[in-house]
Amino acid sequence: MRQALTAIAALVACTAGLPAVAAWPDRPVTIIVPFPAGGGTDTFARPLAQQLGTQIGQPVVIDNKGGAGGTVGAGVAAKAKPDGYTFFMGGAHHALAPSLYKSLSYDIQKDFVPVALLAQPPQVVVINSSKLPVKNVAELIAYAKKHPGEINFGTAGKGSTHHLAGELFAMQTGIKLVDVPYQGAGPMLSALIGGQVDMAFDGLGSSAGHIRSGTIQPLAVAAKERSPSFPNVPTAAEAGLPTYEVSTWYALWAPAGTPPDAVAGMTEAVTKALNQPKIKETWAGNGSTIPTLTGKQFGEFVNSEISRWAKVVKDSGVTLD
């Protein structure tokens, strides 16, 4: 017993001078959002950040760094110090980028650690009815064939999901559309509402409020089932396009090298936050269900999306510098 007590005393003496290791997190956490404020990503990022702050006991700050279809912010996030205090909220756009750009300053599969899928609202085909005299997809296709190349659609930037969703729609319907890029979904929607563009292929999350207010009109959701939030809007399959399915999903990554305890802590916080009644209500209002993919499973989902969109990019012939 005397020897055991002596050993314990010696251990205490040796460790007394060492600095305490702070548990994560001990200061505010930043989430880089690679699109301008007011877009579809912000629709989910800001309410989630508030709930995450409650879960981890520290403020969670959104840092918008838009540009080049979300690749500028992704590059910044990839180079951020991997100390557990910077995360990256990207999405479907970043599964498109590897096939679209000849060179990127980051590799979404190597420079990041997958944390969790956050939301998965479907794309919705929306129009400005003062610019297009159509009431459904069939009428849109017929009108477009009578006016080839005269209909334009707004996008959140070259190579964004809005852009590729429009290209996919044009390929599947045999019509010609002209894309008009903007710096994010927010400016794009303003242009659509203002009549600077005729239509858009937007995430339901950012279009929902404008659809409810009547400033833009939905023709179809690109999902297998109708949105519970908009039960009167048909699916693309019901509108005659059985394989047209596109979602503007959003997700969270950490820079490669982030301490495992920080990744695990954020994963747990995300899981808890997504199950809060207020978040469930907000997500439902934006046409999204609550995803359950985290870690490795979420990483496998990203890999499958990269492969899927690579084919669309190749078939459409879209390339970016």
CATH code for the domain in which residue 93 is found: 3.40.190.150
66 falls within a domain: yes
Same domain, yes or no, for 127 and 93? no
Cα–Cα nearest to 191, from 144, 143, 147, 153? 153
pLDDT score recorded for residue 22: 63
pLDDT score recorded for residue 186: 85
Same domain, yes or no, for 212 and 231? yes
Q: Which of 213, 239, 265 is the last residue of a domain?
A: 239
Q: Can you count the helices (H) and strands (E) in the chain? A: 11, 10
Domain of 268 in residue numbering reads as 29-119+249-316
Same domain, yes or no, for 79 and 110? yes
pLDDT score recorded for residue 40: 76
303 falls within a domain: yes
- Give the DSSP letter string of 28-90: -EEEEESS-TTSHHHHHHHHHHHHHHHHHTS-EEEEE---GGGHHHHHHHHTS--SSSEEEEE
Phi, psi angle pair for 42, to nearest 5°: -60, -30
> Residue holding tokens 């006016």?
147
Same domain, yes or no, for 111 and 256? yes
Residue 305: CB atoms within 10 A of its CB come to 18
Give, in degrees to the nearest 5, the angle at Cα 194 between 188 and 200: 40
| Domain CATH code at residue 160 | 3.40.190.10
3-state secondary structure of 123: strand
Same domain, yes or no, for 158 and 299? no
Residue 6 in tokens: 């002596």
pLDDT score recorded for residue 260: 97
Q: Which of 239, 265, 289 is the last residue of a domain?
A: 239
Same domain, yes or no, for 139 and 201? yes
85 falls within a domain: yes
Same domain, yes or no, for 40 and 98? yes
20 falls within a domain: no
Same domain, yes or no, for 149 and 163? yes
Q: Is 284 exposed, middle or buried (0-12, 13-18, 19+ CB in 10 A)?
A: middle
Question: How many residues can be counted in the chain?
Answer: 321
190 falls within a domain: yes
127 falls within a domain: yes
Q: Which of 207, 239, 271 is the last residue of a domain?
A: 239
Cis omega (within 30 of 0) on the bond before 25? yes
Same domain, yes or no, for 104 and 197? no
Cα–Cα nearest to 161, from 222, 103, 215, 112? 222
3-state secondary structure of 99: helix
> Residue holding tokens 């203002």?
194
Q: Which amino acid is at 143?
A: Y
Residue 317: which residues within 8 A CB-CB, separation 6 or more?
none
Taking the chain (321 residues) in runs of 10, the rounded mean pLDDT of each run is 50 46 87 87 93 97 88 96 97 90 93 97 95 97 96 88 92 95 88 97 89 96 90 95 90 98 98 96 88 96 93 83 62
Phi, psi angle pair for 264, to nearest 5°: -65, -40
312 falls within a domain: yes
Tally of domains in the chain: 2
pLDDT score recorded for residue 282: 92
Same domain, yes or no, for 131 and 109? no
pLDDT score recorded for residue 2: 53
pLDDT score recorded for residue 19: 43
Judge whether 237 and 224 are in contact, CB under 8 Å.
Answer: yes
24 falls within a domain: no
Q: At what angle do helices 40-56 and 185-194 cross, to 10 degrees?
A: 140
Same domain, yes or no, for 232 and 253? no
Whether pTM exceeds 0.75: yes
Same domain, yes or no, for 161 and 225? yes
pLDDT score recorded for residue 6: 52
